[in-house]
Structure 1
Amino acid sequence: MNKKKMPMAIGILSMNFLVMSASVVGAAIAAIAKSFPKESISKVQMLSTIPQLGQVIATLLFTWLTYKLTRKNIGLLAILFVIAGGLLPVFFNSDLNIILACMIAIGFGTGLISNIGPVLVQDHFEGEERATVMGWQVGFNNIGMMAMTAIGGALGSSNWRNLFWVYAVGVVIFLAAYFLIPQDKRLTHETNKEGKPSMWATLKNVNKMAYIYLAITFFTSIAMTMFMANQSIVLFGKGLGTGYTGLVTAVGNIGGILTAVFLGKIRKFTKTNTIAYGFIAFALSFVCVLFFNNVVMHILGNMFSGMGIVLINATIPFELSNLADKLEFPLIISMNTLVSSIAGALAPVILAGLHISVGEGQFVGGIILCGVIAVLLFVTRLGKITENAFITNKKA
């Protein structure tokens, strides 16, 4: 990568450190429940799930915001929401409803970051540099979750209220984004290449192949849910407990991080079939956990899972950025985020409707789903078709 662009990349990537920060509070659910004995445990547990509401709101408003603010300023606004939502419970923590509202604010901020990050990368990077930085974004998501969970847990070990001090790191990230990301111009509806002032008119101009990638996002979220929601059940059936599952999951995260770091080199091998190889990795994650009974294979399975997530979730935004111009991309990336959220929420309902049993049944289903999608991607050569479409559009 051009050394002149590295500081800008750091500024953009620093925001991804916060993307999964809402998960920090999950470690303190039990302690918080003791502080609110009159509240139901289900309401306390909402601290872990209600940020998703903020993320959905952010996704629905994101495209509209791109016409009101510059991309950089949207990123700065997002960080401020995370800082405010994260630090307010340090001082106002006697009412659970206030803390829940703060978690919605955190979710709103992280939802904006999830959407604006790829858009900023599209603005400032081209070709394989863009693909590499988008891969790093997924890696920074995981690193941020691990670091903030560990630091937050240490801060809140004596008093859960101190856990929220971990969000002070947002101040540093705000400064990095402010000074390292160049200011851009606010989009206007009139910049549409056909001169149409409607966002829906913009949507009509999007290459129809983008919707294929939205479908892939949907099935990716289903596969992720099948793995993450059933691994503990499968391992429990092998006589292995919660601590063991946490261990192999934590160590297995290294697979996703390493894949993100070396994505540029990996793509030299996978080329236009990167997503297909991602689904192969996903299929292997199910295989390693289901058919083997030793810690090495279980860690390897979780590493394959992380690898698949990065290969797929970093490549889909990259391909969408090639299919959509700077006016269309904010709209299509917000749709991608929304589809992912909807699929994650509906996955249990869909799987139950298909009468696929939990545990081993859904692991077998995951192998079949990922295998079929990988074969379809190889046979249809979707990646190559997308590349040719991008080259044709660029020439035009």
Structure 2
Amino acid sequence: MQNKNHTLMKLSILLVSVITASAPAINANIPVLAKAFPNVPLAQIELLTTIPSFFLMIAVLLSSWIAKRIGLKQTVIVGVIMTAVAGLSPIFINSFSLLMVSRALFGFGVGLFNSLLVTIISYFFKGPERSQTLGFQSTFEGLGGVLVTFIAGQLVQINWHMSFWAYAITIPALILFTLFVPSIPKADVTTTKETKVASKAKLPKALFGYLVMTFVVITFHMIMGIKVPTLMVSAGYGTATSASFVILSLSLGAMLGGILFGRVFLLMKDYILVIAFVFLALAMSLIAVSNTTWLTMLGGFFTGIGARFFFPWVLNAVNIGGTGNALATSIVLVVYNLAESLSPYTSLLIQDWLNITNLRDLFWLNAAVYAGLTLILAIVIRIKQKKPTMA
């Protein structure tokens, strides 16, 4: 009986992890939503897919403070309830303003629990089981993104309201987590020795450079996510449903990239960053020339691999030293989510500034940016390797 409850507890935590990567599932809805709200500027329509990142960022900054006051389990439950209500409410909403509010609340709800899940896993599981469960969590996040994107892509063929039924996964996650995950005493939320040591860690000297690079890379990565559906529909070779397959292939690429990252990093060290940018440059070039769904899907797949090679590298870079650097990690996450949330307007500014009217040209620009980063990083890494080390 004890083993059964232990398994159900683990499954309940992992099921909540499924929700954390589900916000981009409606990216393929952009062309359909643009038709449903013809008087709303396209940048605002695209903001529906990125505004969750902004409020997720705010919630991540507040989640530990809230958990100290009401408890870890209670904070996660509040977050999942919020995602359930906000995720499913667009089924019944016809107001664009209310739709925007629901997406913001969805992001805030995810932000309340996504960083706390690691703490909960670390509390209940020890040794090899902890490492195994953290690995499962990453897998469930990826599977969640794929599953919810696929369901939303099929349901959008009925209408855009129906696609939000994909978020029904939040209901069983909420029920199982409430029933099978025990409460954690408030005193145990942030009292570990590792946490205290990490909180005193100094910020890396290269942090500003990491932040600038993160903002640029994630901005152009998100431009791909929000512009691909519009490109496919306007170019006449895709629909909202086929665009959802591109977002799905992006999630599959991210899963593969996550699985391979550790091994590739051990072999290539910092050159994994060069590989990441090569994948991203190639992906954007494929999408720019594509006239078929399958080639655009391949571009999406390569985008997922490149992005998942890049971001873990950044987190590893700011945490070098063994004890971790919670403040630096939080700052990187803030910049990451800020770049995501601002990407519709950043894209608009870039298009206006460079007078880009053809979306294919925007993807060629993306490819050029990543190709430039590939060359710059290869040179920088080479120079660093040639520098003599102090005896």
The amino acid of 2:311's aligned partner reads N
The amino acid of 2:262's aligned partner reads R
| 2-structure distance, mates of 1:28, 1:355 | 27
Change (3 A) 1:189 1:224: closer
**Contact (CA 8 Å) 2:60, 2:115: kept in 1 or not?**
yes
Change (3 A) 1:117 1:181: same
The amino acid of 1:313's aligned partner reads F
Task: Trace 1:32-111 onto structure 2 (pairs within 5 A).
Answer: 40-41=40-41, 46-91=47-92, 93-111=93-111
| 1-structure distance, mates of 2:49, 2:76 | 23
Q: 1:343 is matched with which residue?
A: 339
177-186 vs 4-13, which moves further: 4-13
The amino acid of 1:72's aligned partner reads K
Q: Does 1:22 align with 2:23?
A: yes
Q: 1:367 is matched with which residue?
A: 371
Q: 1:284 is matched with which residue?
A: 279
Report the CA distance between 1:349 and its aligned residue: 9.0
**Contact (CA 8 Å) 1:135, 1:315: kept in 2 or not?**
no
Q: 2:201 is matched with which residue?
A: 206
Report the CA distance between 1:259 and its aligned residue: 3.4
Q: Percentage identity across aligned positions? A: 21
Matching residue within 252, 255, 277 for 2:253: 255
Q: 1:307 is matched with which residue?
A: 305
| 1-structure distance, mates of 2:283, 2:45 | 35
Change (3 A) 1:310 1:13: farther
Q: 1:150 is matched with which residue?
A: 150
| 2-structure distance, mates of 1:349, 1:90 | 29
SS in 1 for 2:115: helix
| 1-structure distance, mates of 2:300, 2:29 | 25
**Contact (CA 8 Å) 2:71, 2:184: kept in 1 or not?**
yes
Work out the number of aligned pairs and report it: 364
SS in 2 for 1:68: helix
Task: Trace 1:93-172 onto structure 2 (pairs within 5 A).
Answer: 93-121=93-121, 123=123, 137-172=137-172
Report the CA distance between 1:191 and its aligned residue: 4.8
Report the CA distance between 1:340 and its aligned residue: 0.6
RMSD (CA atoms): 5.0
SS in 1 for 2:69: coil
**Contact (CA 8 Å) 2:264, 2:272: kept in 1 or not?**
no
Q: Which runs of 5+ in 1 are unaligned?
A: 197-201, 382-396
| 2-structure distance, mates of 1:63, 1:353 | 40
The amino acid of 1:116's aligned partner reads L
| 2-structure distance, mates of 1:135, 1:219 | 27
Matching residue within 235, 238, 251 for 1:243: 238
1:173-201 deviations in whole A, cap 9, x for unaligned?
123434565543335899597xx9xxxxx
Change (3 A) 1:128 1:283: farther
Q: Which runs of 5+ in 2 are unaligned?
A: 357-361, 386-391
Change (3 A) 1:87 1:208: same
| 1-structure distance, mates of 2:355, 2:255 | 31
Q: 1:222 is matched with which residue?
A: 216
SS in 1 for 2:203: coil
The amino acid of 2:170's aligned partner reads G
Q: 1:384 is matched with which residue?
A: none
**Contact (CA 8 Å) 1:17, 1:140: kept in 2 or not?**
yes
Q: 2:389 is matched with which residue?
A: none
1:273-294 deviations in whole A, cap 9, x for unaligned?
6664154133233136538978
1:372-396 deviations in whole A, cap 9, x for unaligned?
4466568768xxxxxxxxxxxxxxx
Report the CA distance between 1:23 and its aligned residue: 3.2
TM-score (norm 2): 0.68
1:214-245 deviations in whole A, cap 9, x for unaligned?
85365244224335536979xx8xx9766399
1:342-362 deviations in whole A, cap 9, x for unaligned?
334376599789989844344
The amino acid of 1:150's aligned partner reads F
280-289 vs 116-125, which moves further: 116-125
The amino acid of 2:85's aligned partner reads A
**Contact (CA 8 Å) 1:288, 1:297: kept in 2 or not?**
no
1:131-179 deviations in whole A, cap 9, x for unaligned?
7766655554443233223323444543443333332210111234345
**Contact (CA 8 Å) 1:279, 1:308: kept in 2 or not?**
no
| 1-structure distance, mates of 2:169, 2:100 | 21
216-225 vs 107-116, which moves further: 216-225
**Contact (CA 8 Å) 1:276, 1:377: kept in 2 or not?**
yes
